[in-house]
Amino acid sequence: MSERRHRSHGNGRFRPEDLASCGADCVFEEGVLVFHPENVHLGENVYVGHQTILKGYHQNQMRIGAQTWIGQQCFFHSAGGITIGERVGIGPGVKI
């Protein structure tokens, strides 16, 4: 019987400097997780609500424009790439 190997994409903990780019004055509330931060780009003054998950993907980019507000408990997965414009409001619990 072959040995099973389990892998993980990590725990999602990050520092803003881990992101591909992070504009000035971004806010990350408690519990925000970011996976593959090297493919996540945030403009200036982006707000990311409590317990939101930004799941970057190993080959595509997530781009969130300046002055965008993301509500709590959102989930974004950028397997196909995600681009969100500037000054966008995204309500709580949205999944993309």
* Segment 48-86, tens digit of pLDDT: 999 999 998 888 999 999 999 999 999 999 999 999 999
The number of domains in the chain is: 1
Residue 4 in this model has a pLDDT that exceeds 80: no
Strand order across the beta sheet in which 89-90 lies: 27-28, 47-48, 69-70, 89-90
Residue 72 structural domain:
16-84
Give the pLDDT score at 58: 83
| CB-based contact 13:36 (threshold 8 Å) | no
In a domain, 90, yes or no: no
In a domain, 4, yes or no: no
In a domain, 67, yes or no: yes
In a domain, 57, yes or no: yes
Give the three-class secondary structure for 59: coil
In a domain, 77, yes or no: yes
d(CA 66, CA 45): 6
